[in-house]
Amino acid sequence: MTIATRFITLLGKNTRLFSMSSKQRGKVVPFNLSDIGEGIKEVTVKEWFVKPGDKVAQFDNICEVQSDKASVTITSRYDGHIKNLYYQIDDTALVGKPLLDIELQDEDSTTTANSEAVDGDEETARKVSTSFHQSSENKRSKVLTTPAVRRLAMENNIDLTTVPSTGKDGRILKEDVLNFLNKDKPDVGNIRTDSKPYDVTKSTSSQEEIIPLQGYQKHMWKTMTQSLRIPHFVYSDECDVTKLIEFRSKGKEFLTHSGIPLSFLPFFIKATSKALEKYPRLNALLDEESQTLKIIKSHNISLAMDTPQGLIVPNIKNIQNLSITEIAKELHRLQKLGEKPSFAPSDLAEGTIALSNIGSIGGTYAKPVILSPQILIGAIGKIQKLPRFDGKGEIVGASVVNVSWAADHRVVDGATVARFSNTWKHYIENPIHLLL
């Protein structure tokens, strides 16, 4: 199940899952962060839509959280009043742990009738959440310490029952937790003792900062580390884009009134799809375990995107069926989502081949890194006007751009990449053919 469907499932069932009995009304309960699927264990809190004292109803937006795979809006499962929030913006929240406390509405609820319709899945989820809460409560009550020390332990993921105590009657002191942390992690630098668990923290030297990786950066860490194991075959060429510049300029003018910006990227994307029509085996995903290639018919082109959160790679699907204008429109939509960033899981999933137009920022060449399990990626440099020889041997000013393709050399040979690149170059140098 994808995050999106899981999320929608949770929403659709909430009215039944969290209906209240009269005993529950007026009671303060923790609102735990539900399992949002895909093995996600933690998320970053990006925005709160509520504050303590606010009245909320079921399905009201509570907060927006971001995992390493997508952004998700969490909605209320209860009617009631917000008592307190556990996290600040950019804090890391853990799945199964409370996001906030909520005082259940002390009045007749319209949802009681549905309470018997709780299904197995949700009932289990509730039991797990309740028993988790109770067992941690039991353990907690056995430990003698102050709320501040409990908080410090929670922020650093420490089980207080494992910390040796030096206080009176076995009470655990703040120093005990700090000593425990320093013993475990001698190189960590400053231990977090404030109430912002994952904020940027100053290290022992005021000239340095320690920045924990979060959200999409963690995803980049994982995927790029995986990519390092792949033997990359890199092939580069230069394309003359003099005709493309003119072509784009006319298209841009034509689309001015529609509000759709037309950059060069839609042409690069369409040319990739056209070249794939000739070399369909490059639009494939590699299953390393079974040593098989899955050839995909849909050209779902992943695009490296520079966002305020760093590199994110959404994709545009079924490019083989889209016109340049439709691609430009879809690209515009993704760019808007990238500003926040707030991509739907579906925008990030199922890419089959990738492009990185680093030239929109600068640079002549770049060696792209394969986005496993894909097997091919292209990087495009900046378009430049440079002196070149024409057909008559005369020096002319030509607009040129460099493209570099990196292929997984375990399954793709260099000659295929060269031929694919020649086809791509043909379309870029003769953009009218992209329309035929």
Active site residues: 409, 413
Note whether 330 and 283 are within 8 A (CB).
Answer: no
Contact flag: residue 306 with ligand COA (CB under 6 A) = yes
Q: Which residues inside 12-71 make contact with ligand COA, applying CB under 6 A?
A: none
Question: Which of these ranges, 199-207, 303-311, 344-352, 416-424, lies near ligand COA under the rule CB under 6 A?
Answer: 303-311
Note whether 172 and 194 are within 8 A (CB).
Answer: no
Contact flag: residue 263 with ligand COA (CB under 6 A) = yes
Considering only CA atoms, give the Rg of the chain: 27
Contact flag: residue 195 with ligand COA (CB under 6 A) = no
Return the residue nearest ligand COA (CB atom): 359
Contact flag: residue 428 with ligand COA (CB under 6 A) = no
- Cα 295 from Cα 411, distance rounded (Å): 12
**Tokens standing for residue 18:** 């969290």
DSSP letters, 94-110, are ETTSEEEEEEEPSS--T
The enclosing H or E element of 228 equals helix 215-228
- The CB-of-311 to ligand COA minimum distance in angstroms stands at 5
Contact flag: residue 152 with ligand COA (CB under 6 A) = no
Q: Which is nearer to ligand COA, 87 or 268 (CB)?
A: 268
Q: Which is nearer to ligand COA, 165 or 360 (CB)?
A: 360
Note whether 355 and 377 are within 8 A (CB).
Answer: yes
Contact flag: residue 303 with ligand COA (CB under 6 A) = yes
- The CB-of-79 to ligand COA minimum distance in angstroms stands at 42
CA distances from residue 159 to 20, 152, 177, 190, 198 in whole angstroms, order as listed = 32, 11, 10, 20, 18
The enclosing H or E element of 128 equals helix 120-142
On the 0-12 / 13-18 / 19+ scale of CB atoms within 10 A, 20 is: buried
- Residues listed for the chain: 436
Q: Give start and end residues of each alpha helix (H) in 229-317.
A: 242-255, 265-278
Q: Which is nearer to ligand COA, 197 or 359 (CB)?
A: 359
Torsion sign over Cα 19, 21, 23, 25: positive
Q: Which residues inside 392-421 make contact with ligand COA, applying CB under 6 A?
A: 401
Contact flag: residue 356 with ligand COA (CB under 6 A) = yes
In this structure, which amino acid lies at residue 112?
T
Query: Of the candidates 265, 276, 354, 377, which one interacts with ligand COA according to CB under 6 A?
Result: 265
> Which residue, among 203, 212, 192, 93, has the nearest Cα to 149 in the 3D structure?
192
Contact flag: residue 10 with ligand COA (CB under 6 A) = no
Size of residue set near ligand COA by CB under 6 A: 20
- Residues 6 or more apart whose Cβ sits within 8 Å of residue 169: 144
- The CB-of-419 to ligand COA minimum distance in angstroms stands at 23
> Binding string to ligand COA for residues 313 to 352, with x set by CB under 6 A, is what?
------------------x---x-----------------
Contact flag: residue 383 with ligand COA (CB under 6 A) = yes
Question: Which of these ranges, 47-55, 127-135, 257-265, 389-397, lies near ligand COA under the rule CB under 6 A?
Answer: 257-265
> Which residue, among 345, 307, 309, 347, has the nearest Cα to 72 in the 3D structure?
345
Contact flag: residue 380 with ligand COA (CB under 6 A) = yes
Contact flag: residue 264 with ligand COA (CB under 6 A) = yes
- The CB-of-383 to ligand COA minimum distance in angstroms stands at 4
Question: Which of these ranges, 19-27, 298-306, 408-416, 420-428, lies near ligand COA under the rule CB under 6 A?
Answer: 298-306
CA triple 343-344-350, angle to 5 deg: 105
- The CB-of-376 to ligand COA minimum distance in angstroms stands at 15
Residues at the contact surface with ligand COA, assessed by CB under 6 A: 263-265, 303-306, 311, 331, 335, 356-361, 380, 382-383, 401
